[in-house]
Amino acid sequence: MTKILNVHNLGKTYTSGSKKLTVLEDISFEVEEGATFAIVGPSGSGKTTLLGLCAGLDQADSGTITLCGASLDAMNEDELAQLRNRNVGFIFQNFQLLPTLTALENVIVPLELQGAKNAAKIGLELLEKVGLADRSHHYPSQLSGGEQQRVALARAFSNTPSILFADEPTGNLDNETGEKVIQLLFDLNEAAGTTLVIVTHDLELAQRTQRILRLKGGKVLTNQLTEAL
């Protein structure tokens, strides 16, 4: 199978005053195209930092990342933005919807950034899929947490990404709502054949993916197939 994400000897250090804090050290792993992949670990283990680096949201201090065949360390900010816009979808713990836009407008932001013409049509179809077609003109403040996350899901799929990064997608939701959102995420993912990388505390959720990478203190503890666990 083709590798969509390839991380090799990755390292990241933050400087706080005169102190250096190593957040990630010598991380290597691969994700196959169309696979589902979970990154788990306790708070402060470097999960979110790793996700950010893999998605090209930040630059690593050492090592290389290849995403969708492109080496991220050789790209500038605008090239990275273009890569994300064409190939990457995001789901955040805090939903991260733009408060000034309606549900539909939020969904089609990635398409509009591309200059796509049939954005509204695609957006409405996606809202239909997440069960929010009738709320398309509502603003985020008029939606519940679960509804906001469903809008975020629709947005994540709007640009038909090759890979989807989800950062604690149920972190701000109750169990029942969280379960519904996750089910929807996996359904949409399966239908679209997208690669899914999830960062989570939730082992139950992690076990629904094909492979789990365990982090501790910025280092890889294990990287195993879920079946093997």
Partner 1 sequence: MAWRDGRASIKRLLLFMASIVLGIAALVSIQSFGGNLKQNFTQQSKSLMGSDFLIVANEPPTEIVQRVLDSLGGANATEINFPSMVSFPNKRATKLAFVRGINGGYPFYGSLVTKPPAAAIEYQRLGGALVDATLMLQYGLKTGDSISVGMVTLPIVGSITSGPGSTGISASIAPPVYIPYRFIDRTGLVQTGSRVEYKNYFVANPEPNYVELAKRLDPILDAENADLDTHESTGRQLGRRYENFGKFLNLVAFIALLLGCVGIASSVHIYIKEKLISIAVLKCLGATRKQTFLIFLVQIAGMGLIGGLIGTALGLILQQSFPLLLRDFLPIELKVSFLWQPLIIGPLLGLIMSVLFALSPLIGTWYVSPLQALRIQEGVSTKTRRANVFVMAAILLFLFAFSFWLLKQVSFALAFVGGILIVFSILTGIAVVFMRAIKRYFPSSWGFVARQSLLNLFRPNNQTLVLLLSIGVGTFLISTLYFSKDILLAKTALESSTKTPNLILMDVQSDQTQEASQSIREAGLPVIDNFPIVTMRMHSIKGRSVNDIRQDSLRTVNRWILNHEFRVTYRDSLVASETLASGKWNPLFSKGDAIPISLSDNVARDAQVVEGDTLVFNVQGVLMETVVANTRTVDWGRMQMNFSVIFPKGVLENAPQFHILSTNAPDEKSSASLQRKLVRKFPTVSIIDVRQLIGLVQDILDKISWVINFMAFFSILTGIIVLIGSIRTSKYQRIRENVLLRTLGAQSSQILKITALEYLYLGLMGSIIGIGLSLLGSQLLATFVFKAAFIPSWIPFLVVVPGITLLVLLIGLTNSRSVLKSPPLEVLRKEGT
Which residues here bind partner 1, judged by CB under 8 A? 23, 43-44, 46-49, 51-52, 55, 57-58, 77-78, 81-86, 88, 90, 92-94, 96, 98-101, 109-110, 112-115, 141, 155, 159, 167-168, 171
Q: Closest distance between partner 1 and the C-beta of residue 77, in Å?
A: 6
Rg value, the chain, Cα? 17
Q: SS3 for 187?
A: helix
> Tokens 């190593």 belong to which residue?
22
- Cα distance between residue 133 and residue 84, in whole Å: 26
Q: Which is nearer to partner 1, 57 or 192 (CB)?
A: 57
Q: Closest distance between partner 1 and the C-beta of residue 135, in Å?
A: 18
Q: Which is nearer to partner 1, 1 or 100 (CB)?
A: 100
Length of the chain in residues, anyone?
229
DSSP 53: H
Identify the CA nearest to 104 among candidates 86, 91, 90, 122: 122
CA dihedral sign of residues 34, 73, 109, 184: positive
Q: Which is nearer to partner 1, 15 or 141 (CB)?
A: 141
Q: Closest distance between partner 1 and the C-beta of residue 23, in Å?
A: 6
Q: Which is nearer to partner 1, 24 or 210 (CB)?
A: 24
Q: Which is nearer to partner 1, 49 or 149 (CB)?
A: 49
Could you tell me the two tokens for 196? 């899914």
Q: Closest distance between partner 1 and the C-beta of residue 78, in Å?
A: 5
The pair phi, psi for residue 118, each rounded to 5°, is -100, 35
Q: Closest distance between partner 1 and the C-beta of residue 213, in Å?
A: 16
Q: Closest distance between partner 1 and the C-beta of residue 1, in Å?
A: 26
Q: Which is nearer to partner 1, 32 or 73 (CB)?
A: 73
Give me the amino acid identity at 76.
N
Q: SS3 for 115?
A: coil
